[in-house]
A and B are shown apart, each in its own frame.
Chain A
Amino acid sequence: MEPSVEIIKDLHRRMLRIRLFEEAAGKLFEGNKMPGFLHLYVGQEAVAAGVCVAMRDDDQVSSTHRGHGHLVAKGGDLSKMMAELMGKADGYCNGKGGSMHICDLDLNMLGANGIVGGGTPIAVGAGFANKYRGNDTVSVAFFGDGSTNIGAFHEAINMAAALKLPVLFICENNEYGEYTRRDKVMAINDVVDRAAGYGIPGVIVDGMDAMAVYEASLEGLDRARRGEGPTFIECKTYRYYNHHGVQTLGMKYRTDEEVEEWKKKDCIDALEKRVTDAGLISAEELAAVRAEVEAEVAEAVEFGENSPYPDASTLLTDVYTEMV
C-alpha cells in the first residue's frame, strides 16, 4: 500500500527527531557532558521510523546498544531521554541506565540493551504474552547484523518460528559489528538467508528508504496479527558515525569514500527530495517541521543540563520490587 501524505509526514518527522536528537547528544558527548558509551543511530533513521510508523502503540519493541532511535521513533520524550543520557535524575531511568539501557515501558519500548543478542529473546517473550492473551499485539525485535551471529539470537528466532509467535524481526544490516566488517564474520551475503533456516519468510528492503521499510513492516506486522507467525526483514543501512562516539572519517576498518557514498543516499534528504519533487509536501512545510524539531531538541538539552544528578539515597532503590 503506497503510504499516504500523512504517513510520509510522520516518517519524516520521526526521522528528523532521531537525527537532531542524536546530533545534539553527540555534541554533548564531545563536550564531556555525557558520560559512558554513546552509540549513535545517525544514518539508520529510516529503519526505526519506517517500522514504528507501521506499528500500533500497543506493539512492543526490543532494542539494542544503538537504541535511541528506536525509542524516539516509538514516541519517546526527548527531554527525558537527554537527561538520562547525561545521567540525570529526571531521565527515563532516573540516571541508573544511561544510553545503553534507555526505555519507556509506557510506550511499550522494552529497553535498549548492553548485551548483543540480549534483546531479541525478550521480544519473543513479549510476543508469547500477546499470543497467550489472545490479543493481536505484535512485538518487534530490532537487532544488528552482528547480533545474528550469537547464540541467543538463533535460539530466540527459532523458538518464535516454532511456536508461531507474533514477532517481527528487524535486522539493521549496517555492514559492521563494531570494527569488523560483516563479510569477515558470516559466510552469506544477505543476512536474510538465515530466515529460510528457521522456516519463516524473509525480505530485503532498502533501509535508507523509510517508505519501503514502512510498507514491508506493515506486511510483516499484519501477518503476525493474523497468527501466521514471524517475518524477518533485513534493512540494508549504514551508520555514519563510528561504532561509538562521534568520529565519522579516518577509520581503519572502513574507507572515507564508503561513508561518503552512503551519505549520498541519506534517508532524510532522499525523502525530502522525493516529496518536494512530487509536489506532495512543500519545502516550506519541511523547513517548518525542522524548526519545530530543532526547538524540541534544544529544549531537551536544556532540560537535561538543568536536571540534577540523582541523590545518593537512590543508589540502593529499585534492586527488587517491594511487596505491596
Chain B
Amino acid sequence: MTATTTPSSVHPQPSFVPETDRELTYLGAFNEAMFQLMREDEDIFVAGEDVGLQGGVFGSFKGLSDEFGERRVVDTPIAEQAIVGLGIGAAVAGLRPVVDLMFFDFVMVAMDQIANQAAKLKYMFGGKATLPLTITTNGGAGLSAAAQHSQSLEAMLCHVPGLKVVMPSSPADLKGLLVACVRENNPTILVKNKRMFGTTGLVPEELYEIPLGVGNVVREGNDVTIVAYGRMVEESEKAAQRLADEHGLSCEIIDPRTVQPLDTDLIVASAKKTNRVVVVHEAVRFGGLGAEIAAQVQEEAFDYLDAPVARVAAPFSPIPFSPGLEGHYVPNAKRISAGILETLGRPVPGA
C-alpha cells in the first residue's frame, strides 16, 4: 500500500564539503586533519599504542610526533582502560584528547571507562562535567584478521546514552567528521574501516567540519532506499549501479554518517519517497543498527511502506579466519543486490 501523499524528494542536503579537485586517501585524510587540528589548538594531544615513533600501526598518526613532539603525541603502554581513562581525566581537566584504540575489538577491553565513565559523567554530575574526548579506532572485516580483530561493535556503543558514534564512508567524510569529533564537547568514537585505508577521493585541503548527526544522500533514486554506513556505502553503490544497469532500478542511498545520533529525519523522508527500505551493515544482523532503523522507519512511515524493512548484515557468528569462510560472512554488493530485489518482490538471479 502506497500512501497518497508521497514527497517528491528528500529535503535538500548541504554537503558541508567545500569544492576541490585534490585527491587523497582515506588514511591521508585522517592524517591531514590531525595535523591541521593540532596546529589550530594547543590543547589537542594524541595518546595510544605505537602512535608516536611508529605513527600508528596503520600510519594514521604518521609524522605527528616529528612536528608536535612527545609531549603532544604520547606512546602509551598496552593499557586500553588507562588510555581511555587518561583521555577522560585530561578532558575533564580542560584538554581536548584524541585517544586511539588500535582495533575496534579492543574497545571491549576499555568498556568500563567508555560506557560507565565517559558516557555518564556529565549526567551523573548534574551537567557539571564537559568531556571533549575523541576515541579513534579501526573496525571492519575482510582481512583474515579473525574473530578478535575484525568486529563491528557500533551497536553496543550506540546503546549507551552519552556517546556519539561516527562511521565515515569516504575520505572527505572522514576528514570533516574527525574535525567535528575533535571540536565536539562530548565523548565521540570515530571508527575507520580498515579496508578503506587506501581508498581515494576528493578531499579539500582546508579544515572543514561535517556536523555530527547529519546524514548524506549518496545517490538519489526512487525505487528503494538503501541505508548504509562505513564501507557498506561503497558496496551499496556497486549494488545500486548493477541494479540500474541490469534491472533498470533506481536506488537511493542514505549514509547516516553518524550512527549515534542518527539522522532519522533523512531516513524517514527517503522511506516516504521510495516506500521501501533496505538497511545494510557489516555488523551481525541480530541486535544491530538495522533493527533500530527498521523500528524507527515503521514508527514514522508505516503507511508509506510497500514492503517490510529488510536487513542485509553479517550472520550470527564470530568472524572466521579463513578467506574461504570470511568471503561468505561479510556483506557485499551481490548480497545487497539480492536483498533489494527481494524487497521489491523481483526474482533474485541464482537464488
Could you say which of B30-38, B130-138, B314-322 contacts chain A? B314-322
Report A162-202 CB contacts with B as 1/0, cut-off 8 Å. Answer: 00000000000000011110001110000000000000000
Contact A114 B321 (CB under 8 A): no
Q: Is the interface of B mostly helix, strand, loop or mixed?
A: loop
Name which residue of chain B comes closest to A184, CB basis: B75
Within 48-74 of B, Cβ neighbours of A (below 8 Å) are at: 49-50, 52-54, 57
A319 to B105, CA, bound (A): 18
Report A128-148 CB contacts with B as 1/0, cut-off 8 Å. Answer: 000000000000000000110
Contact of A115 among B82, B105, B318, B321 (CB under 8 A): B105
A50 interface residue per 8 A CB criterion: no
Which of B144, B146, B322 has the largest number of chain A CB atoms within 10 A?
B322
Which of B76, B147, B324 has the largest number of chain A CB atoms within 10 A?
B324
Contact B325 A180 (CB under 8 A): no
Within 99-153 of A, Cβ neighbours of B (below 8 Å) are at: 100-101, 113-118, 146-147, 149-152
Within 69-120 of A, Cβ neighbours of B (below 8 Å) are at: 87-89, 93, 95-98, 100-101, 113-118
- What is the CB-to-nearest-CB distance from A158 to chain B, in angstroms, rounded to a whole number? 16
Q: Is the interface of A mostly helix, strand, loop or mixed?
A: loop
Q: Place the interface of chain B in its size category.
A: 35 or more
A243 to B7, CA, bound (A): 56
B328 interface residue per 8 A CB criterion: yes
- Residues of A in contact (CB 8 Å), total 43
Task: Give chain B residues whose Cβ lies under 8 Å from the Cβ of A151.
Answer: 79, 81-82
Task: Give chain A residues whose Cβ lies under 8 Å from the Cβ of B54.
Answer: 178-180, 252-253
Within 311-340 of B, Cβ neighbours of A (below 8 Å) are at: 315-318, 320-325, 328-329
Contact B77 A95 (CB under 8 A): no
Task: Give chain B residues whose Cβ lies under 8 Å from the Cβ of A87.
Answer: 144, 321-325
Q: A37-B149, A180-B49 are in contact. Are A96 and B320 (CB under 8 A)?
A: yes
A35 interface residue per 8 A CB criterion: yes
Contact A149 B315 (CB under 8 A): no
Name which residue of chain B comes closest to A94, CB basis: B322
Contact of A186 among B77, B145, B318 (CB under 8 A): B77
Contact of A116 among B76, B78, B321 (CB under 8 A): B78
Contact A35 B144 (CB under 8 A): yes
Q: A100-B146, A180-B53, A310-B324 are in contact. Are A185 and B75 (CB under 8 A)?
A: yes
Contact of A97 among B50, B106, B321 (CB under 8 A): B321
Contact A114 B149 (CB under 8 A): yes
A115 to B145, CA, bound (A): 12
A3 interface residue per 8 A CB criterion: no
B160 interface residue per 8 A CB criterion: no
A1 interface residue per 8 A CB criterion: no
Contact B324 A95 (CB under 8 A): yes
B9 interface residue per 8 A CB criterion: no
Contact A309 B80 (CB under 8 A): no
- What is the CB-to-nearest-CB distance from A86 to chain B, in angstroms, rounded to a whole number? 8
- What is the CB-to-nearest-CB distance from A40 to chain B, in angstroms, rounded to a whole number? 17
B2 interface residue per 8 A CB criterion: no
Contact B78 A98 (CB under 8 A): no
B143 interface residue per 8 A CB criterion: yes
Task: Give chain A residues whose Cβ lies under 8 Å from the Cβ of B109.
Answer: 115, 117, 150, 152
Contact B78 A115 (CB under 8 A): no
Q: How many residue pairs, one in A and one in B, have C-beta atoms under 8 Å apart?
A: 131
Report B134-176 CB contacts with A as 1/0, cut-off 8 Å. Answer: 0000000001111111000000000000000000000000000
Contact of A178 among B57, B81, B328 (CB under 8 A): B57
Q: A95-B325, A309-B324 are in contact. Are A149 and B149 (CB under 8 A)?
A: no
Q: A36-B144, A178-B50 are in contact. Are A315 and B320 (CB under 8 A)?
A: yes
Contact B316 A319 (CB under 8 A): yes
A316 interface residue per 8 A CB criterion: yes
Contact B325 A179 (CB under 8 A): no
Contact A316 B144 (CB under 8 A): no
Q: A35-B144, A36-B144 are in contact. Are A96 and B325 (CB under 8 A)?
A: yes
A324 interface residue per 8 A CB criterion: no
A114 to B53, CA, bound (A): 23
Contact A177 B316 (CB under 8 A): no
Task: Give chain B residues whose Cβ lies under 8 Å from the Cβ of A311.
Answer: 324
Q: A178-B57, A179-B57, A316-B316 are in contact. Are A96 and B322 (CB under 8 A)?
A: yes
Report B79-90 CB contacts with A as 1/0, cut-off 8 Å. Answer: 111100000000
A278 interface residue per 8 A CB criterion: no
Contact B143 A147 (CB under 8 A): no
Contact of A98 among B53, B144, B315, B329 (CB under 8 A): B144
A95 to B328, CA, bound (A): 14
Contact of A315 among B79, B106, B146, B317 (CB under 8 A): B317
Task: Give chain A residues whose Cβ lies under 8 Å from the Cβ of B49.
Answer: 177-178, 180
Name which residue of chain A comes closest to B52, CB basis: A180
Task: Give chain A residues whose Cβ lies under 8 Å from the Cβ of B82.
Answer: 151
Task: Give chain B residues whose Cβ lies under 8 Å from the Cβ of A247.
Answer: none
Within 278-317 of A, Cβ neighbours of B (below 8 Å) are at: 308-312, 314-316
Task: Give chain A residues whose Cβ lies under 8 Å from the Cβ of B321.
Answer: 35-36, 87, 93, 95-98, 100-101
Which of A36, A312, A319 has the largest number of chain B CB atoms within 10 A?
A36
Task: Give chain B residues whose Cβ lies under 8 Å from the Cβ of A184.
Answer: 75
Interface pairs (27), CB distance under 8 Å: A35-B322, A36-B143, A36-B146, A88-B324, A95-B320, A96-B318, A96-B325, A114-B146, A114-B149, A115-B105, A115-B109, A117-B78, A117-B109, A146-B77, A152-B109, A178-B57, A179-B50, A179-B57, A180-B75, A184-B75, A252-B53, A309-B323, A311-B324, A314-B325, A316-B317, A319-B317, A319-B318
Closest 3 CB pairs of A and B: A309-B324, A98-B321, A87-B322
9 other A-B residue contacts (CB within 8 Å) besides A95-B325, A114-B105, A114-B147: A35-B144, A36-B146, A101-B146, A118-B148, A146-B77, A146-B78, A179-B53, A315-B315, A315-B329
Binding site for B on A (CB under 8 A): 35-37, 87-89, 93, 95-98, 100-101, 113-118, 146-147, 149-152, 177-180, 184-186, 252-253, 308-312, 314-316, 319
